[in-house]
Structure 1
Amino acid sequence: MDHTTVEKATFAGGCFWCTEAVFLRLNGVKHVVSGYIGGKTLNPTYKDICTGETGHAEAIEITFDPAQLSFGELLEIFFATHDPTTINRQGNDVGTQYRSEIFYHDDSQRDLSEAYIKLLNDENTFGKKVVTRLSPATVFYPAEDYHQNYFNRNPDQPYCNFAIPPKIAKLEAKFADKLKS
Protein backbone atom coordinates (compact mmCIF):
# COMPACT_ATOMS: atom_id res chain seq x y z
CA MET A 1 0.00 0.00 0.00
CA ASP A 2 1.29 3.45 -0.92
CA HIS A 3 1.59 5.72 2.10
CA THR A 4 2.89 8.70 0.17
CA THR A 5 2.32 11.99 1.91
CA VAL A 6 0.94 14.61 -0.42
CA GLU A 7 0.66 18.34 0.05
CA LYS A 8 -1.25 21.07 -1.74
CA ALA A 9 -0.02 24.30 -3.30
CA THR A 10 -2.33 26.93 -4.76
CA PHE A 11 -1.03 29.46 -7.26
CA ALA A 12 -2.65 32.20 -9.31
CA GLY A 13 -0.46 33.36 -12.18
CA GLY A 14 -2.77 34.55 -14.93
CA CYS A 15 -4.84 32.24 -17.10
CA PHE A 16 -5.26 28.89 -15.36
CA TRP A 17 -4.95 27.02 -18.67
CA CYS A 18 -1.37 28.30 -18.84
CA THR A 19 -0.35 27.56 -15.27
CA GLU A 20 -2.00 24.13 -15.33
CA ALA A 21 -0.13 23.18 -18.55
CA VAL A 22 3.20 23.95 -16.86
CA PHE A 23 2.65 22.17 -13.56
CA LEU A 24 1.07 19.03 -15.06
CA ARG A 25 4.47 18.26 -16.64
CA LEU A 26 6.36 18.04 -13.35
CA ASN A 27 7.53 14.82 -11.76
CA GLY A 28 6.04 14.61 -8.27
CA VAL A 29 2.87 16.48 -9.23
CA LYS A 30 -0.01 14.07 -8.70
CA HIS A 31 -2.93 16.25 -9.72
CA VAL A 32 -3.67 19.80 -10.90
CA VAL A 33 -7.13 21.34 -10.73
CA SER A 34 -8.02 24.67 -12.34
CA GLY A 35 -10.39 26.80 -10.33
CA TYR A 36 -11.22 29.98 -8.48
CA ILE A 37 -10.06 31.26 -5.09
CA GLY A 38 -9.81 34.45 -3.10
CA GLY A 39 -13.19 36.03 -3.79
CA LYS A 40 -16.49 36.67 -2.08
CA THR A 41 -19.01 34.92 -4.34
CA LEU A 42 -20.08 31.41 -3.33
CA ASN A 43 -19.72 28.75 -6.07
CA PRO A 44 -18.57 31.16 -8.78
CA THR A 45 -18.74 30.20 -12.43
CA TYR A 46 -16.32 31.16 -15.17
CA LYS A 47 -18.87 33.70 -16.41
CA ASP A 48 -19.04 35.19 -12.88
CA ILE A 49 -15.31 35.58 -12.41
CA CYS A 50 -14.79 37.01 -15.91
CA THR A 51 -16.73 40.08 -14.79
CA GLY A 52 -13.89 40.84 -12.35
CA GLU A 53 -16.55 41.56 -9.72
CA THR A 54 -16.29 38.40 -7.58
CA GLY A 55 -12.76 38.99 -6.32
CA HIS A 56 -11.64 35.50 -7.36
CA ALA A 57 -8.40 34.69 -9.12
CA GLU A 58 -8.04 32.04 -11.79
CA ALA A 59 -5.79 29.61 -9.97
CA ILE A 60 -4.54 26.05 -9.84
CA GLU A 61 -4.52 23.70 -6.90
CA ILE A 62 -1.57 21.32 -7.14
CA THR A 63 -1.41 18.05 -5.23
CA PHE A 64 2.24 17.04 -5.01
CA ASP A 65 4.60 14.58 -3.34
CA PRO A 66 7.07 16.65 -1.29
CA ALA A 67 9.53 13.74 -1.32
CA GLN A 68 9.82 14.19 -5.12
CA LEU A 69 9.26 17.92 -5.51
CA SER A 70 9.46 20.49 -2.74
CA PHE A 71 7.22 23.51 -2.26
CA GLY A 72 10.35 25.63 -2.77
CA GLU A 73 10.90 24.04 -6.19
CA LEU A 74 7.25 24.70 -7.07
CA LEU A 75 7.76 28.36 -6.07
CA GLU A 76 10.85 28.62 -8.26
CA ILE A 77 8.92 27.25 -11.25
CA PHE A 78 5.90 29.44 -10.52
CA PHE A 79 8.03 32.61 -10.58
CA ALA A 80 9.99 31.49 -13.65
CA THR A 81 6.88 30.83 -15.77
CA HIS A 82 4.77 33.98 -15.30
CA ASP A 83 5.35 37.72 -14.82
CA PRO A 84 5.11 38.44 -11.08
CA THR A 85 5.74 42.17 -11.61
CA THR A 86 2.42 43.17 -13.18
CA ILE A 87 -0.63 43.92 -11.06
CA ASN A 88 -3.82 42.18 -12.24
CA ARG A 89 -2.33 41.30 -15.59
CA GLN A 90 -0.52 38.57 -17.52
CA GLY A 91 0.22 39.54 -21.11
CA ASN A 92 -3.06 40.45 -22.82
CA ASP A 93 -5.14 39.09 -19.91
CA VAL A 94 -6.13 42.02 -17.73
CA GLY A 95 -8.29 42.00 -14.60
CA THR A 96 -8.15 41.04 -10.93
CA GLN A 97 -8.83 37.41 -11.90
CA TYR A 98 -5.37 37.32 -13.57
CA ARG A 99 -3.40 38.56 -10.56
CA SER A 100 -0.25 36.90 -9.27
CA GLU A 101 -0.97 35.38 -5.87
CA ILE A 102 0.17 32.51 -3.69
CA PHE A 103 -2.51 31.02 -1.46
CA TYR A 104 -0.50 29.34 1.29
CA HIS A 105 -1.76 26.26 3.13
CA ASP A 106 0.41 26.58 6.25
CA ASP A 107 2.98 28.79 7.97
CA SER A 108 5.86 27.00 6.26
CA GLN A 109 4.49 27.82 2.78
CA ARG A 110 3.88 31.42 3.86
CA ASP A 111 7.40 31.81 5.28
CA LEU A 112 9.05 30.21 2.23
CA SER A 113 7.01 32.40 -0.12
CA GLU A 114 7.88 35.59 1.81
CA ALA A 115 11.57 34.68 1.84
CA TYR A 116 11.57 33.82 -1.87
CA ILE A 117 9.86 37.08 -2.85
CA LYS A 118 12.33 39.02 -0.67
CA LEU A 119 15.24 37.24 -2.39
CA LEU A 120 13.83 37.99 -5.87
CA ASN A 121 13.42 41.66 -4.93
CA ASP A 122 16.81 41.92 -3.18
CA GLU A 123 18.52 40.44 -6.26
CA ASN A 124 16.36 42.57 -8.59
CA THR A 125 15.71 39.39 -10.58
CA PHE A 126 13.01 40.91 -12.77
CA GLY A 127 14.31 44.48 -12.95
CA LYS A 128 11.22 45.61 -11.06
CA LYS A 129 9.44 44.75 -7.83
CA VAL A 130 7.56 41.47 -7.43
CA VAL A 131 3.90 42.28 -6.76
CA THR A 132 2.74 38.71 -6.08
CA ARG A 133 0.29 38.70 -3.19
CA LEU A 134 0.36 36.19 -0.32
CA SER A 135 -2.92 35.10 1.23
CA PRO A 136 -4.09 32.18 3.32
CA ALA A 137 -5.79 29.52 1.21
CA THR A 138 -9.55 29.80 1.45
CA VAL A 139 -12.25 27.82 -0.33
CA PHE A 140 -11.02 26.62 -3.71
CA TYR A 141 -13.79 26.17 -6.25
CA PRO A 142 -12.88 23.78 -9.09
CA ALA A 143 -13.63 25.32 -12.48
CA GLU A 144 -16.08 23.77 -14.91
CA ASP A 145 -14.99 20.42 -16.41
CA TYR A 146 -14.14 21.89 -19.79
CA HIS A 147 -11.36 23.98 -18.16
CA GLN A 148 -9.58 20.95 -16.68
CA ASN A 149 -6.48 19.71 -18.54
CA TYR A 150 -7.46 22.30 -21.15
CA PHE A 151 -4.24 22.65 -23.14
CA ASN A 152 -3.67 18.91 -23.46
CA ARG A 153 -7.24 18.49 -24.74
CA ASN A 154 -7.21 21.62 -26.96
CA PRO A 155 -3.64 22.00 -28.27
CA ASP A 156 -4.79 23.85 -31.39
CA GLN A 157 -6.78 26.52 -29.53
CA PRO A 158 -5.26 29.82 -30.81
CA TYR A 159 -4.85 31.54 -27.40
CA CYS A 160 -3.14 28.47 -25.95
CA ASN A 161 -0.91 28.11 -29.00
CA PHE A 162 0.26 31.68 -28.48
CA ALA A 163 0.59 31.80 -24.69
CA ILE A 164 1.61 28.32 -23.52
CA PRO A 165 4.51 27.08 -25.73
CA PRO A 166 6.90 29.83 -24.50
CA LYS A 167 6.13 28.83 -20.89
CA ILE A 168 6.72 25.14 -21.70
CA ALA A 169 9.98 25.98 -23.51
CA LYS A 170 11.19 27.92 -20.45
CA LEU A 171 10.20 25.02 -18.20
CA GLU A 172 11.98 22.46 -20.40
CA ALA A 173 15.12 24.59 -20.68
CA LYS A 174 15.42 25.53 -17.02
CA PHE A 175 13.84 22.58 -15.20
CA ALA A 176 14.43 19.56 -17.48
CA ASP A 177 15.46 17.43 -14.49
CA LYS A 178 12.02 17.95 -12.89
CA LEU A 179 9.88 16.84 -15.83
CA LYS A 180 7.89 13.65 -16.10
CA SER A 181 9.46 11.26 -18.59
Structure 2
Amino acid sequence: MPRAALLLTLILPCALLPAQAAPGAHQHGVVTLEVAIDGAELSLGLRAPLDDLIGFERAPRTAAERQAAAELLRSLRAPGALFEPSAAAGCTLAAATVQAPVLEGGAAGADHAELVADYRYQCAQPQALRGLKHRLFADFRRIARIDAAVAGPRGQALHKLKRPADTLSWPQ
Protein backbone atom coordinates (compact mmCIF):
# COMPACT_ATOMS: atom_id res chain seq x y z
CA MET A 1 0.00 0.00 0.00
CA PRO A 2 1.41 3.46 -0.83
CA ARG A 3 2.75 5.37 2.19
CA ALA A 4 0.28 8.27 1.96
CA ALA A 5 -2.69 5.91 1.61
CA LEU A 6 -1.45 3.89 4.59
CA LEU A 7 -1.11 7.09 6.59
CA LEU A 8 -4.68 8.10 5.78
CA THR A 9 -5.92 4.63 6.66
CA LEU A 10 -4.22 4.59 10.07
CA ILE A 11 -4.14 8.18 11.32
CA LEU A 12 -6.61 10.51 9.65
CA PRO A 13 -9.83 8.61 10.42
CA CYS A 14 -9.06 9.21 14.09
CA ALA A 15 -8.64 12.92 13.43
CA LEU A 16 -12.07 13.06 11.82
CA LEU A 17 -13.86 11.17 14.61
CA PRO A 18 -15.19 14.28 16.41
CA ALA A 19 -17.21 15.09 13.28
CA GLN A 20 -18.95 11.74 13.57
CA ALA A 21 -21.73 11.39 16.13
CA ALA A 22 -21.37 7.61 16.37
CA PRO A 23 -20.19 4.73 14.21
CA GLY A 24 -22.41 4.56 11.14
CA ALA A 25 -23.89 8.00 11.84
CA HIS A 26 -23.16 11.19 10.00
CA GLN A 27 -23.97 14.86 10.09
CA HIS A 28 -26.21 16.16 7.34
CA GLY A 29 -24.65 18.99 5.37
CA VAL A 30 -21.11 17.73 6.03
CA VAL A 31 -19.06 15.55 3.71
CA THR A 32 -15.57 14.23 4.29
CA LEU A 33 -12.82 14.26 1.72
CA GLU A 34 -9.53 12.42 2.23
CA VAL A 35 -6.66 13.42 -0.04
CA ALA A 36 -3.46 11.37 -0.31
CA ILE A 37 -0.47 12.25 -2.47
CA ASP A 38 2.06 9.50 -2.96
CA GLY A 39 4.59 9.94 -5.73
CA ALA A 40 2.67 10.46 -8.97
CA GLU A 41 -0.62 9.24 -7.50
CA LEU A 42 -3.34 11.47 -6.11
CA SER A 43 -6.08 9.61 -4.25
CA LEU A 44 -9.39 11.12 -3.16
CA GLY A 45 -11.88 9.49 -0.83
CA LEU A 46 -15.32 11.09 -0.56
CA ARG A 47 -17.94 10.15 2.03
CA ALA A 48 -21.30 11.93 1.95
CA PRO A 49 -24.75 11.44 3.45
CA LEU A 50 -27.11 10.46 0.64
CA ASP A 51 -29.52 13.15 1.79
CA ASP A 52 -26.91 15.79 0.87
CA LEU A 53 -26.53 14.36 -2.62
CA ILE A 54 -30.00 13.22 -3.59
CA GLY A 55 -32.44 14.33 -0.88
CA PHE A 56 -33.21 10.95 0.71
CA GLU A 57 -31.38 8.12 2.50
CA ARG A 58 -33.43 5.08 1.58
CA ALA A 59 -34.01 2.93 -1.43
CA PRO A 60 -35.66 4.86 -4.27
CA ARG A 61 -39.44 4.33 -4.24
CA THR A 62 -40.65 6.00 -7.40
CA ALA A 63 -39.54 5.99 -11.01
CA ALA A 64 -38.32 9.58 -10.62
CA GLU A 65 -36.24 8.64 -7.55
CA ARG A 66 -34.79 5.59 -9.33
CA GLN A 67 -33.85 7.81 -12.27
CA ALA A 68 -32.29 10.43 -9.96
CA ALA A 69 -30.30 7.70 -8.17
CA ALA A 70 -29.04 6.25 -11.46
CA GLU A 71 -28.03 9.73 -12.69
CA LEU A 72 -26.21 10.49 -9.43
CA LEU A 73 -24.25 7.23 -9.56
CA ARG A 74 -23.46 7.69 -13.25
CA SER A 75 -22.22 11.26 -12.74
CA LEU A 76 -20.04 10.37 -9.76
CA ARG A 77 -18.52 7.36 -11.54
CA ALA A 78 -17.38 9.71 -14.33
CA PRO A 79 -16.65 12.78 -12.23
CA GLY A 80 -15.48 15.05 -15.06
CA ALA A 81 -15.06 18.51 -13.56
CA LEU A 82 -16.25 17.55 -10.06
CA PHE A 83 -12.59 17.53 -8.99
CA GLU A 84 -9.81 19.41 -10.78
CA PRO A 85 -6.28 18.91 -9.47
CA SER A 86 -3.81 21.74 -10.17
CA ALA A 87 -3.64 22.01 -13.97
CA ALA A 88 0.18 22.20 -14.00
CA ALA A 89 0.34 18.74 -12.40
CA GLY A 90 -1.13 17.08 -15.52
CA CYS A 91 -3.34 14.66 -13.58
CA THR A 92 -5.67 12.22 -15.33
CA LEU A 93 -8.33 10.07 -13.72
CA ALA A 94 -7.13 6.47 -13.56
CA ALA A 95 -9.95 4.87 -11.53
CA ALA A 96 -13.27 5.75 -9.92
CA THR A 97 -15.23 3.60 -7.50
CA VAL A 98 -18.60 4.67 -6.13
CA GLN A 99 -20.62 2.70 -3.60
CA ALA A 100 -24.12 3.46 -2.36
CA PRO A 101 -25.74 0.08 -1.65
CA VAL A 102 -29.13 1.51 -0.70
CA LEU A 103 -29.38 3.16 -4.13
CA GLU A 104 -28.19 0.04 -5.93
CA GLY A 105 -30.80 -2.36 -4.58
CA GLY A 106 -28.87 -3.31 -1.45
CA ALA A 107 -30.37 -3.60 2.01
CA ALA A 108 -31.31 -0.28 3.60
CA GLY A 109 -29.45 -1.11 6.83
CA ALA A 110 -29.12 1.93 9.09
CA ASP A 111 -31.15 5.12 9.19
CA HIS A 112 -28.22 7.10 7.80
CA ALA A 113 -27.18 5.86 4.37
CA GLU A 114 -24.03 7.22 2.78
CA LEU A 115 -22.23 7.24 -0.50
CA VAL A 116 -18.53 6.39 -0.55
CA ALA A 117 -16.44 7.25 -3.61
CA ASP A 118 -12.75 6.72 -4.28
CA TYR A 119 -10.88 8.39 -7.12
CA ARG A 120 -7.31 7.77 -8.21
CA TYR A 121 -5.42 10.15 -10.47
CA GLN A 122 -2.01 9.74 -12.11
CA CYS A 123 -0.08 12.99 -12.30
CA ALA A 124 2.67 13.71 -14.85
CA GLN A 125 4.12 16.52 -12.67
CA PRO A 126 3.11 15.64 -9.09
CA GLN A 127 5.48 18.28 -7.68
CA ALA A 128 3.14 20.88 -9.23
CA LEU A 129 0.14 19.69 -7.18
CA ARG A 130 -0.84 22.70 -5.11
CA GLY A 131 -4.50 22.02 -4.56
CA LEU A 132 -7.81 20.79 -5.83
CA LYS A 133 -10.78 22.70 -7.18
CA HIS A 134 -14.14 21.06 -6.61
CA ARG A 135 -17.77 21.51 -7.60
CA LEU A 136 -19.31 19.85 -4.54
CA PHE A 137 -20.98 23.05 -3.30
CA ALA A 138 -22.09 24.03 -6.81
CA ASP A 139 -23.49 20.61 -7.72
CA PHE A 140 -25.00 19.65 -4.35
CA ARG A 141 -26.84 22.50 -2.66
CA ARG A 142 -27.40 20.58 0.60
CA ILE A 143 -23.67 20.37 1.36
CA ALA A 144 -22.70 23.12 3.81
CA ARG A 145 -19.18 22.02 4.80
CA ILE A 146 -16.38 19.77 3.63
CA ASP A 147 -14.08 18.28 6.26
CA ALA A 148 -10.91 17.51 4.33
CA ALA A 149 -7.82 15.61 5.45
CA VAL A 150 -4.69 15.88 3.33
CA ALA A 151 -1.61 13.64 3.60
CA GLY A 152 1.35 14.07 1.31
CA PRO A 153 5.09 14.52 1.09
CA ARG A 154 4.91 17.78 3.10
CA GLY A 155 2.90 16.28 5.97
CA GLN A 156 -0.71 16.17 7.01
CA ALA A 157 -3.38 18.81 7.48
CA LEU A 158 -7.06 19.07 8.26
CA HIS A 159 -9.22 21.68 6.53
CA LYS A 160 -12.83 22.77 6.88
CA LEU A 161 -14.25 24.31 3.73
CA LYS A 162 -17.52 26.19 3.92
CA ARG A 163 -19.72 27.50 1.14
CA PRO A 164 -18.76 28.94 -1.33
CA ALA A 165 -15.06 27.88 -1.07
CA ASP A 166 -14.32 25.85 -4.19
CA THR A 167 -10.61 25.20 -3.68
CA LEU A 168 -8.66 23.04 -1.26
CA SER A 169 -5.01 24.09 -1.10
CA TRP A 170 -2.06 22.48 0.64
CA PRO A 171 1.58 23.48 1.22
CA GLN A 172 4.28 22.42 -1.18
Tell me which interval the TM-score lies in, with the shorter structure as reference length. Answer: 0.3 to 0.5
TM-score, normalized by length of structure 1?
0.35
Structure with the higher strand share, 1 or 2 = 2
Higher relative CO (Cα under 8 Å, sequence separation at least 6) belongs to 1
| Structure holding more helix per residue | 1
TM-score when scaled to structure 2?
A: 0.36
